Amino acid sequence: MSRATTEVRLASSDEAAYFSRFVQGFLSQNGFPFVIIHNAPDLAGERREVVFEDPGVSRKFAQEWGRTRRSAGEA
């Protein structure tokens, strides 16, 4: 089975805390799929690589995270 990765950039510690809550909720709603989250600090804040074994779940995660971030930016 191939894995799929979603890269997430976090701009602040508040956004990192929100990301943590988002991941917990996503896993709960999707039956706890296998996931690996790699932390990699860079100059533009923090970066997370979220790796699922199931590419379909990874695409769903990326879509929901993107929609959530767009909604937060509109508020």
Q: Write the CATH number for 41.
A: 3.30.310
pTM, entire model: 0.62
Strand order in the sheet with 45-52: 4-10, 45-52, 35-42
Range of the domain at 8: 4-74
- Distance, CA of 42 to chain centre: 17
Domain count, the chain: 1
The stretches in the chain having pLDDT less than 50 are 43, 75
